[in-house]
Homo-oligomer: A and B are copies of this chain.
Amino acid sequence: MSRRGCLRKDNSSRRTPTIRDVAQAVGVSLKTVSRVINGDKGVSAETRKRVLAAIEALGYRPNALARSLRGRKTYTIGVIITDITNGFFSTIVRGIEDEAFARNYSVLVANSDELLEKEKLYVCIFVEKQVDGLIIVPATGSQEYLRDLASHIPLVFVDRPPRDFSGPVVQVENREGAYRLTRHLLEHGFERLAFLASDLRLPTVQERFAGFRKAMDEAGIVLHPEMVKDGAKTIHEAYRKTHELFVLPLRPQAIFAANNLVVQGVLKAIRERNLRIPQDVAVVGFDDFEMADLVQPRLTVVAQPAYALGKEAAVLLFSRMTCPSLAGETVVLPVEVVLRGSCGCEDAPQEEMFLKGVRSST
């Protein structure tokens, strides 16, 4: 009487329980348990109840990995932005996440830091992790490397179109917004306008510059090269570039800051120089943010619908995931010029509820 056959099928050890353990406990097949978990029909009420009880008792949790491997669907999307720390991008991510959450999807996030290599690496990692779709804020450089991938996995770009590659993009009216804002500046009578940007190679920045330029051209104003500054990728760099602007023999009368980081650097430099806004120099920015409303004077900006940008990108991605035949659409969201004090307008904060007749006390 050997001990052969005494198979060590001891499942009692501390291991996270699987569907097999549940089946064994109830005395049914794997498939039956699977059916209960997925709410499939074809299970008697009696059996279902027993299976559910066993699941509860054992503390069984389905393994999404196995499910995904089998079902070829991970319910996960990848999001690559340049830097989550930037309020504009974190708001986009929030828009995406909310939409994903509503559809039972999770979100993998990555910061590319505007580095193409990092972007590529993350794309590779996320693809290997079998994400069901990818939303990308393309870094400077060529997105040509995505060509092959695009036919295998749904892809959507946000904020900027990719380079050397065409795919669905969700972006804002950069040109139009910059054009309108610049015109407004010109209507105030300013002529020496400076344009300060993070990176003129960025599509968004190019569009904004085009709008800026168009307004200038239409007004017949010559734009001096030294009034256009590039490379202000951080607040500090923007701050430095602003100072450079002010040591010029002909100082700018107004500064167009091409994004939210730049405008903060500009503000900092101006404060340091004890210049008054807008009397000594007017300032406007592209992209609104909470604090733009709280500095003195309040900042005039082009407000971008960052949250909607993310949400629409997600909506577009999901629609392409269910119906890949959709052609590469481009969605352009409207922007709004928000006039406050920094452009030279008289700043009239809207009265809010609590001020109805209460303004008295100092």
Residue numbers of A with Cβ under 8 A of B are: 16, 59, 61-66, 68-69, 74, 76, 83-85, 87, 90-91, 93-94, 97-98, 101, 106-111, 124-130, 148, 152, 235, 239-240, 243, 246-247, 251, 264, 267-269, 271-275, 280, 290-291, 293-296, 349, 352, 354-355, 358-359, 361-362
Closest CB in chain B relative to A234 CB, distance in Å = 11
Query: What residue of chain B has the Cβ atom nearest to residue A292's Cβ?
Result: B291
One of B74, B251, B352 near A272 (C-beta < 8 A): B352
B contact residues around A108 at 8 Å (CB): 76, 106-109
Query: What residue of chain B has the Cβ atom nearest to residue A91's Cβ?
Result: B85
Give the residue among A69, A83, A106, A127 with the most B Cβ atoms within 10 A: A106
B contact residues around A280 at 8 Å (CB): 362
A106 touches B84 (CB 8 A): no
Closest CB in chain B relative to A308 CB, distance in Å = 14
Closest CB in chain B relative to A342 CB, distance in Å = 12
Known contacts A84-B84, A90-B90, A110-B106; is-contact A129 B273 (Cβ 8 Å): no
How many copies the complex holds: the figure is 2
Closest CB in chain B relative to A310 CB, distance in Å = 11
Closest CB in chain B relative to A358 CB, distance in Å = 7
User: Can you name 28 A-B pairs with beta carbons within 8 Å?
Assistant: A61-B124, A61-B128, A62-B128, A63-B69, A64-B129, A65-B129, A84-B97, A85-B94, A87-B90, A90-B90, A101-B110, A106-B125, A107-B108, A107-B110, A239-B352, A239-B354, A246-B361, A247-B358, A264-B290, A268-B293, A272-B349, A274-B359, A291-B291, A291-B294, A291-B295, A294-B295, A295-B295, A296-B296
B contact residues around A128 at 8 Å (CB): 61-64
B contact residues around A126 at 8 Å (CB): 106
Known contacts A74-B65, A128-B64, A291-B294; is-contact A354 B243 (Cβ 8 Å): yes
B76 touches A129 (CB 8 A): yes
CA–CA, A268 to B280, complex, Å? 25
B274 touches A362 (CB 8 A): yes
